[in-house]
Amino acid sequence: MKLGLMAGVMAVALAGQQSTQQTAQQQAIPDAPSSAPTSIFDGVAPGKGAVPEAPKPASGNQIPQAAKPAAPQDDPGPEPDLPASGEAPAYVIRQRVNFVEVPFTVKDNKGQLVYGLTWRDVRVYENGVRQQPRFFTVDPFPLSIALVIDQSLPFNVMSKVNDSLTAMPGAFTPQDEVAVFTYNNGPKKQTDFTGSQSARLPAILERSKSKGREVTLYDNTGPLSQTTTINGRQFDPNTAPVRNQNSMTLTIPKEQHTLNDAIFAAAQELATRPKGRRRVIYVISDGKEYGSHAKFAEVRRYLQANQISVWGTLVGDSAAWGLGWVDKFHLPFMMQDNILPKYTNTTGGTLYSEWRQRAIEDSFAEIGRTMRAQYTVGYYSSQPFIDGKYRTIDVRVLRPNLNIQAKEGYIPSAHDAVSTPRTR
């Protein structure tokens, strides 16, 4: 009986030991995979990096606080301009300003070019305020020339111009380029910019020659004008041009001289030329203007905004002595007999009046020499950057008895804007 009781006790103890071992084995088995990310890219937001984990609470009674986001790295930008050691404190502001170049010609009372001037002899005023020169040179610039030839000239004047065109390429240098425009009832581009010494330019000039305009005379007083008139008046109302009227009515065709349109077309072509070249429109005409779509004020504003100067050789009746003074008076609704001086005076060009063919040829060479003898002064405008308002320019030379030819003003353009430091 005792043996049976001991056997029962040992069986109970052995069962408890097995139960303890099974419990230990169950605790040693690893838990199931958690919801933690298994990839190195999990939890990474595009453009933000890894999302920081929230801190674990210290005890079960404390509520965890949200983690503060990491402070972004501030971009300090470029290093500021700081004064050197021992210098007074200063700061530099970089601003957009308008750099203005003003070419000008200086002649004496005899019309001869004046050489040898320095920047100390020159004063520049913009809107009446003196400007500080930042650039001064006597070196010639390469020229971009838009040649405008008037084909509405009378046939005798047109013949002189045609014969003188062969001397045109000799007025330019190999660094220059020339485009050719003609106009009669409207402008026409004969060629785009080409080398002034190329074989193409003489061929284009030969193609640009014209017969000119025939002068039509109307005589309503002669015996062959009409057989039903006496002293210029209709005596038979049945044959009158306008029935029941005794006076004669003649329809005279209006002349077309589209000079404004031709200069505007040449200016649009010149506006595309790169910086570093002098933009010039060279006109050979009698200066008459009638029938253009573009107005003088519009063309002038475009020239002033694109730094274009107008030069010219005046031919025909307009070149006769004394007619220049008469051309200053213009009657409304009438053709303007000579508008070229307005263009040249406004843009700083020079105008030569020539009657003979040899003088026309000489004017080509004289204008080319004058262009290369110009002085150039540059300054940073003290006016606001770009306001679209016209600004007057006055160039003076501190020497007596000299004539200065420069543009009267300009309109600021974004093409001439540069970035410059200003120290305070």
Band of residue 212 on the pLDDT scale cut at 50, 70, 90: confident
Percentage of the chain modeled with pLDDT above 90: 46
Buried b vs exposed e over 160-186: b needs ≥16 C-beta within 10 Å? Answer: bbbebbebbbebbeeebbbbbbbbbee
pLDDT tens-place string over residues 327-344: 444 445 445 578 999 999
In total, the chain counts a number of residues equal to 424
Band of residue 99 on the pLDDT scale cut at 50, 70, 90: confident
Q: What's the DSSP call for residue 349?
A: -
Cα radius of gyration rounded to whole Å, the chain: 44
Distance CA 141, CA 175 (A): 9
Q: Which two tokens stand for residue 187?
A: 């402008």
pLDDT tens-place string over residues 346-373: 999 999 888 888 999 999 999 999 999 9
Q: How many CB atoms lie within 10 A of CB 85?
A: 5
Helix, strand, or coil here: 377?
Answer: strand
Instruction: Tell me the pLDDT of the chain averaged across its residues.
Output: 76
Side-chain-side CA neighbours of 387 within 13 Å: the count stands at: 8
Q: Which CATH topology does 143-214+259-357 take? A: Rossmann fold (3.40.50)
State the average pLDDT over residues 251-273: 87
**Is residue 66 pLDDT above 50, yes or no?**
no
- Strands 143-150, 122-126: parallel, antiparallel or unpaired by DSSP? unpaired
**Is residue 189 pLDDT above 90, yes or no?**
yes
Distance CA 95, CA 380 (A): 12
Run of H or E residues at 189: strand 187-195
pLDDT tens-place string over residues 372-420: 999 999 998 877 766 778 999 999 999 999 999 999 999 887 665 554 4
Q: Where are the extended beta strands (E) located within 243-401? A: 278-285, 308-314, 351-353, 375-380, 391-397
Domain boundaries defined on the chain = 92-138+378-423, 143-214+259-357, 217-252
> C-alpha angle 212/218/223, rounded to 5°?
140
Q: Where are the extended beta strands (E) located within 259-384? A: 278-285, 308-314, 351-353, 375-380
Distance CA 155, CA 163 (A): 12
Percentage of the chain modeled with pLDDT above 70: 60
The neighbouring-strand residues paired with 420 are 95
Q: What's the DSSP call for residue 186?
A: S
For the entire predicted model, the pTM comes to 0.68
